[in-house]
Structure formats: C-alpha cells, structure tokens
C-alpha cells in the first residue's frame, strides 16, 4: 500500500511529520510512503533520523515539491498559485493513481479546496466534509461532522453529511446500524434554524433501510452520551464545538493535575494522578491524536492536526491505511447508488 504525505504541513513540520512517517513505515512493513516537500529539507530531515528508524528509509520515497502553503493562505490562493506546493503535489499523486491515500497536517481550507479540485467528489455529493470521532461514554466514539470544510450548510448538504458519517461509522468502526442525529438547540421539533428543520424532514423520509437509524435532534451534550454514532451539523458549529471541547479538555486535565498537586505532596500527586491524566489527555484530544477525515471525496485524504507531533502524525497515517482497507469512498458511492435506485 502506498500513502502520499505532505511533510510540510503543521507547526512542527517537517521534523514531526517525517519522524511520524518513518514510525508508520517501521510499524507496517507493507507500507510505502511518498514524501512531498523541498528535496533539501527532506534529505536533511531524513539524515537526522535516529538509527532504528533509518531502517524504514528504503520505503520512504522522496518527491520534490519546491513550495509550501502557509497557514494564512486562502483556499483561493492555493487553487490559483499552489500547484508546486507539497500539498498540491501530494494530492496530484492520488489523482494520478500513484498512491491510495494522502495525509497532511497543513492549512485546512487549502486542503479541502485542493482535494476537491484534484480528486472531485463521489457522485451525488456536492461538497466534502471533515469528520473525526470524539470519545463518548461507555468507551464508544461519535463521529462529528462537518468540522469546518463548509461554513454553512443547506439541508441537503446536512443529509449528505449524515450519509457520509453513517458509512464511516459502519465501515471504520464496524457499527452495524449507526445511530445518527442532527445537532440542534433543543429536542423539540419547533426549534432550530430552517436548514436544520428541513434536514430533519428529509432524514425522516430517507429510505435508510439497513444503512442507519435516524434519531432526530441531539443537543451538544449528547455528543458524549455514547448513544449516538454520528452527529451532523454545519461546519461553523462543528468547528466551534470541537475546538471548545479540545480547549476544555486541556484546561480540565490541567485543573485536575493542579488540584491533586495542591492536595497531596508533589511526589505522591505525580505517582497517583499523572498516568491517569496522561491517558485521558490523549483520549480527549481526538484530532490531535487521530486526525480527521475528509469525507465525500473520490479519494482518501486525512487531515492531521496542525499542532500534531510525530505520534499524532503516525496515527493519521494509520487512519489513512484503515480507510484504504475499508475502501471508504467506494462504500459511500455504493450507498448513494442504492439510494438513488430506491428513488427510481
């Protein structure tokens, strides 16, 4: 299997991305990774890899891309001037069939726009969405989408998101019958914006036999209940909810730590609380650790967190491998065709 990597995206690139890629290659002997970035930077980073990782370099293929997309670049700029960037070339390699999936920790807006340009969307899907699984009660996970690929979404697009989320939960997490809900300000039918209410009507009428069960409206807190597998909202709301959750989880873990440090001697507190808190922190920062998927594309692209370290980038590559194994875009296309067959 071949995965294409934009090594220049993210705050700690290219060091963290290349170390993460080398770890992924070591971890999975069937993996070949195409690394896109300026040749000299690639060579310099690779030569500095610690010895055990150097064993993986035979499966790291260097692919020159002279330019880099900055964090401040707009999607429009990327589409017009980004052709020579590591991100665009990485995506082009997917479009050309040289790799089965791509991973980047770079500028999200640019990644969405360039992915859509290079790969197109699955027939029937108008726009890609970004999704990640957030941890929920009872060791379950809940896919939240959209996380910011679109700033607002008409009802039909929210329905697309529901389908994409269902395919994700079913094929990546093996949830036989994903439970889907629409995020709203209350559970009552009279509440919410017009697009959410219209999407509710569409989803109630959707012939989802065997594909998912639509549970109606959810409120923000239901995300973590463990009773839903997919929660759908527009990208503005999803982005705000996800980032607030990340911020809150970070603050909470710090507070628990501080509270233990204050109540118990430093040494005892470390002994008691730190291992527990470290694991929690990891679990509660899903994007940083696991990456997010661009769904609806006719291809597989995983967005690793901009602040990711080598570990997080390694996970994002694993996620891409999983999506390739499950043929996620193919499953989505099949689902959509089954649906249009029902309608005709």
Give the footprint of a copy of itself on this chain (CB under 8 A): 72, 74, 108-109, 135-137, 148, 151-152, 183, 185-186, 188, 190-193, 219-225, 233, 235-237, 239-252, 254-256, 259-260, 263-264, 272-273, 275-277, 279-280, 283-284
Considering beta carbons, is residue 32 or 283 the nearer one to a copy of itself? Answer: 283
Residue 76 beta carbon to a copy of itself: minimum distance, rounded to whole angstroms: 8
Nearer to a copy of itself, 293 or 326 (CB): 293
Contact 6, 103 (CB under 8 A): yes
Beta carbon of residue 237, minimum distance to a copy of itself (angstroms, whole number): 5
| Shorter beta-carbon distance to a copy of itself: residue 177 or 252 | 252
Side-chain half-sphere of 86: how many Cα atoms within 13 Å? 30
Using alpha carbons, select from 304, 312, 291, 324 the residue that is nearest to residue 171: 324
**Beta strand 292-295 with 179-183: parallel, antiparallel or unpaired?**
unpaired
Q: Which of 277, 273, 303 is nearest to 288 (CA)?
A: 303
Residue closer to a copy of itself (CB basis): 210 or 266:
266
Measure Cα distances from 147 to 108, 132, 344 in Å: 10, 8, 33
Helices (H), the chain: 15-27, 39-47, 51-54, 75-81, 86-95, 108-119, 155-171, 194-205, 235-263, 266-283, 286-290, 310-325, 328-343
b/e sequence 56-85, b meaning 16+ C-beta within 10 Å: beebbbbbebebbbeeebebebbeeebeeb
206 vs 264 by CB, closer to a copy of itself: 264
The smaller minimum CB distance to a copy of itself, of residues 109 and 328, is found at: 109
We find the least distance from the C-beta atom of residue 291 to a copy of itself, in angstroms, to be 18
Q: Smallest gap, in angstroms, from Cβ of residue 95 to a copy of itself?
A: 26
Q: Cα(149)–Cα(339) distance, rounded to whole angstroms?
A: 24
* Cα(341)–Cα(333) distance, integer angstroms: 12
Q: What is d(CA 101, CA 28) in angstroms, rounded to the nearest whole number?
A: 15
CB-CB neighbours of 154 under 10 Å: 14
Q: How far is the CB of 161 from a copy of itself (least distance, A)?
A: 15
At its nearest, how many Å lie between a copy of itself and the CB of residue 187?
9
Q: How far apart are CA 101 and CA 321, in angstroms?
A: 8
Please report, in angstroms and rounded to a whole number, the separation of the first and last CA atoms in the chain: 38
CB of 185 or CB of 337, closer to a copy of itself: 185
- Minimal distance in Å, beta carbon 56 to a copy of itself? 34
Smaller CB separation from a copy of itself, 81 or 191: 191
- In whole angstroms, give the CA distance from residue 225 to residue 222: 5
Q: What angle do CA 283, 296, 68 make, to 5 degrees?
A: 75
Could you tell me the smallest distance in angstroms from the CB atom of residue 68 to a copy of itself?
A: 17
CB of 40 to a copy of itself, least distance (A): 29
Give 21 or 144: the residue with its C-beta nearer to a copy of itself. 144
């Amino acid at each position: 299997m071949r995965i294409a990597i934009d090594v220049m995206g993210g705050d700690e690139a290219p060091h963290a991305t290349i170390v993460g890629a080398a770890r992924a290659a070591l971890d999975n002997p069937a993996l070949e990774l195409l690394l896109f970035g300026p040749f000299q930077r690639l060579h310099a980073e690779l030569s500095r890899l610690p010895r055990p990782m150097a064993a993986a370099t035979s499966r790291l293929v260097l692919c020159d891309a002279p330019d880099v997309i900055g964090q401040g670049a707009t999607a429009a700029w990327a589409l017009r001037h980004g052709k020579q960037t590591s991100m665009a070339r990485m995506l082009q390699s997917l479009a050309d069939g040289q790799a089965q999936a791509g991973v980047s920790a770079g500028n999200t807006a640019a990644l969405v726009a360039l992915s859509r340009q290079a790969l197109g969307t699955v027939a029937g899907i108008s726009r890609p969405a970004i999704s990640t699984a957030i941890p929920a009660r009872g060791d379950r996970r809940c896919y939240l989408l959209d996380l910011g690929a679109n700033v607002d979404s008409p009802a039909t697009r929210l329905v697309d998101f529901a389908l994409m989320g269902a395919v994700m939960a079913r094929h990546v997490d093996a949830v036989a019958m994903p439970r889907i809900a629409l995020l709203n300000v209350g559970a009552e039918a009279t509440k919410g914006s017009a697009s959410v209410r219209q999407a509710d009507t569409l989803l109630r009428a959707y012939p989802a036999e065997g594909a998912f069960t639509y549970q109606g409206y959810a409120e923000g807190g239901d995300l973590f209940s463990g009773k839903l597998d997919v929660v759908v909202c527009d990208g503005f709301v999803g982005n705000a909810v996800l980032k607030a959750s990340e911020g809150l989880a970070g603050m909470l873990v710090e507070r628990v730590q501080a509270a233990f440090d204050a109540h118990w001697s430093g040494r005892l507190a470390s002994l008691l609380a730190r291992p527990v808190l470290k694991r929690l922190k990891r679990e509660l920062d899903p994007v940083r650790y696991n990456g997010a998927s661009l769904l609806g594309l006719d291809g597989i692209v995983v967005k690793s967190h901009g602040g990711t370290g080598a570990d997080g980038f390694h996970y994002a590559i694993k996620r891409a491998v999983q999506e390739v194994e499950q043929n996620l875009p193919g499953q989505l296309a099949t689902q959509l065709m089954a649906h249009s067959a029902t309608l005709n």
